C-alpha cells in the first residue's frame, strides 16, 4: 500500500476546474474563489479553495472530509458570521495558504550512528527484517536531490557513566517501585532508579559513548555543508529518546531554538531507531506544533509491532508518512497534503486561544489591581 493511502489521504482525478495559481496576489485569489461575487467566502467557496490547495504534483485533488473542511473554515471565520471576509482572508493567506505553498523545510536524520548499525546496539540483532545500514542510501539520495532549508543530524551522545547502560546498574540505587530488583535485572529490563530524578529506564548495552567509534555517524552518510549536529543523552542521569527533550522533559536540546531561528514550518524525520528515537522525536515535533513528516523508507527500527504503533500514533496526530520519492514535490510545495494543512490550522487556533487567554488574564489582573 502506498504511504499516502496509509496516511488516510486519497488523491482523485485531476480537477482542472478548481486549479489556481497561488503565486498570484491575495486579492486575485480572493476574487477567484468568491464565485458568487458577494465579497465574502462561504463554506462552499472555501471548499473550492481547499480543492485547489490540497492536490499532488500531478494535479490530483486530495479528499478533504466535510468535518475537516468545516473545522478549518471556523479557524479563519474569526467573527463566526459564516463567512471569511477580506480581513479574515488576509490572515488565512499569510498564516496558512502561503505556508502551505511555500513551507520552510527542515530535514532531521536521527542517530545514524555506528553502534545502531553494526556496533553494540545493532538493530538487526533484534529483528531479522531490520538493517540500519539500509537507511543510508535513501537518505543520501534525498540530500542529493532535495533542497531543504536546514539539515540536522542528531547523535546519541552518552557520558561513560550513563544511566541507560546495563553495566552501570550498580552505580545507582533502584527505587522501591522498580518492577525488577538489582539482583534480577537483565539487559533490556526496565527498572526504576531512585534518582533524583526518579526515572523508569530500559537497560541497554553500553552504546554511543562520547568520542567513541560507536558514536560516530556512519562513514557513508552524506553530511551536507552548513548542517547542524544535535547531541542528546548527554546528562548521565536521564536518557533522551527524543531529539527535542530528555525523557523527563527537564532539558531541551539546541534543536528547538534552531528550528525557531530558521522559521521552520515542516520537519522531515527519519533514521534510527524507528520505534524509539525517531518515533519519540516525531511525537514531540507534533506536540510543539510542527507539520511533521516521517520518511518511511529512511527509517529502520527494533520491533515491528512498535514500528506500526509509532506510525499509527503519528497519523492520528495529523502527521504524514511518506516514501522518500514523494518528498521533493512536497518540499517544493507542489504536493500539498490536507493533513498538514489541517495541522497548521489547528496550531493557528491554539495560538489564538493562548493569546486570548493571555489577554483575559491581563484584564483580570488589571481589574484586581483597581
DSSP lists the bridge partners of residue 322 as 295
Residue matched to cell numbers 557513566: 161
* Least Å from the CB of residue 136 to Zn ion: 20
Residue closer to Zn ion (CB basis): 29 or 155: 155
Active site residues: 111, 232, 277
Nearer to Zn ion, 103 or 233 (CB): 233
Do the beta carbons of residue 230 and residue 146 sit within 8 Å?
A: no
Contacts 24+ apart (CB under 8 A), 74-79: 75/345, 75/346, 75/348, 75/349, 75/352, 76/46, 76/345, 78/352
Nearest distance in Å: CB 164, Zn ion: 5
Angle 238-239-243 from CA coordinates, rounded to 5°: 120
Range in contact with Zn ion (rule: CB under 5 A) among 21-29, 148-156, 178-186, 224-232: 148-156
Q: Total number of residues binding Zn ion (CB under 5 A)?
A: 2
Nearer to Zn ion, 210 or 325 (CB): 210
Q: How far is the CB of 232 from Zn ion (least distance, A)?
A: 8
Distance of CA 182 to the CA centre of its chain: 37
Residue from 4, 77, 133, 156 touching Zn ion (CB under 5 A): that is: 156
* 177-185, 226-234, 289-297, 353-361 -> range binding Zn ion (CB under 5 A): 226-234
156 vs 284 by CB, closer to Zn ion: 156
Residue whose beta carbon is closest to Zn ion? 156
Q: CB nearer to Zn ion: give 243 or 327.
A: 243
228-267 binders of Zn ion (CB under 5 A) = 233
Q: Which of these ranges, 103-111, 151-159, 173-181, 195-203, lies near Zn ion under the rule CB under 5 A? A: 151-159
With contacts defined by CB under 5 A, name the span among 51-59, 149-157, 174-182, 359-367 that binds Zn ion: 149-157
Give Cα 318 to chain centroid, integer Å: 10
CB crowding 187-224: b at 16 or more within 10 Å, else e: eeeebbbeeeeebebebbbbbbbeebebbbbbeebbee
Q: Which residue has the cell 542510501?
A: 137
Q: Is 125 exposed, middle or buried (0-12, 13-18, 19+ CB in 10 A)?
A: exposed
| Minimum distance of Zn ion from residue 170's CB (angstroms) | 19
Distance CA 362, CA 366 (A): 6
User: How far apart are CB 206 and Zn ion at their closest, in Å?
Assistant: 10
Sites of contact with Zn ion (CB under 5 A)? 156, 233
Amino acid at each position: 500500500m502506498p504511504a499516502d493511502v496509509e496516511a488516510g489521504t486519497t488523491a482523485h482525478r485531476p480537477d482542472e476546474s478548481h486549479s489556481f495559481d497561488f503565486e498570484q496576489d491575495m486579492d486575485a485569489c480572493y476574487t477567484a474563489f468568491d464565485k458568487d461575487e458577494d465579497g465574502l467566502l462561504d463554506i462552499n467557496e472555501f471548499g473550492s479553495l481547499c480543492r485547489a490547495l490540497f492536490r499532488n504534483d500531478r494535479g490530483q485533488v486530495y479528499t478533504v472530509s466535510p468535518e475537516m473542511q468545516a473545522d478549518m473554515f471556523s479557524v479563519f471565520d474569526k467573527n463566526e458570521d459564516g463567512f471569511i471576509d477580506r480581513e479574515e482572508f488576509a490572515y488565512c493567506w499569510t498564516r496558512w495558504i502561503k505556508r502551505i505553498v511555500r513551507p520552510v523545510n527542515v530535514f532531521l536524520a536521527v542517530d545514524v550512528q555506528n553502534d545502531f548499525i553494526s556496533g553494540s546496539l545493532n538493530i538487526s540483532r533484534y529483528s531479522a527484517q531490520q538493517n540500519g545500514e539500509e537507511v543510508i542510501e535513501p537518505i543520501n539520495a534525498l540530500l542529493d536531490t532535495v533542497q531543504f532549508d536546514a539539515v540536522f543530524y542528531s547523535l546519541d551522545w552518552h557520558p561513560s557513566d550513563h544511566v541507560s547502560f546495563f553495566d552501570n546498574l550498580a552505580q545507582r540505587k533502584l527505587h522501591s517501585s522498580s518492577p525488577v530488583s538489582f539482583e534480577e535485572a537483565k539487559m533490556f529490563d526496565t527498572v526504576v532508579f531512585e534518582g533524583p530524578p526518579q526515572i523508569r529506564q530500559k537497560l541497554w548495552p553500553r552504546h554511543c559513548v562520547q568520542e567513541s567509534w560507536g558514536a560516530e555517524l556512519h562513514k557513508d552518510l552524506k553530511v551536507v555543508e552548513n548542517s547542524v549536529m544535535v547531541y542528546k543523552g548527554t546528562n548521565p542521569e536521564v536518557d533522551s529518546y527524543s531529539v527535542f527533550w530528555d525523557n523527563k522533559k527537564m532539558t531541551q536540546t539546541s534543536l528547538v531554538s534552531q528550528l525557531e531561528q530558521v522559521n521552520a514550518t515542516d520537519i522531515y524525520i527519519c533514521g534510527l531507531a524507528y520505534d524509539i528515537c525517531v518515533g519519540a522525536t516525531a511525537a514531540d515535533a507534533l506536540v510543539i506544533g510542527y507539520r511533521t513528516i516521517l520518511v518511511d523508507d529512511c527509517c529502520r527500527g527494533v520491533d515491528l509491532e512498535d514500528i506500526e504503533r509509532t506510525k499509527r500514533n503519528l497519523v492520528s496526530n495529523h502527521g504524514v508518512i511518506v516514501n522518500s520519492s514523494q518528498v521533493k514535490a512536497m518540499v517544493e510545495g507542489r504536493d500539498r497534503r490536507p493533513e498538514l494543512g489541517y495541522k497548521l490550522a489547528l496550531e493557528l487556533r491554539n495560538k489564538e486561544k493562548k493569546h486570548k487567554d493571555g489577554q483575559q488574564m491581563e484584564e483580570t489582573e488589571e481589574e484586581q489591581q483597581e
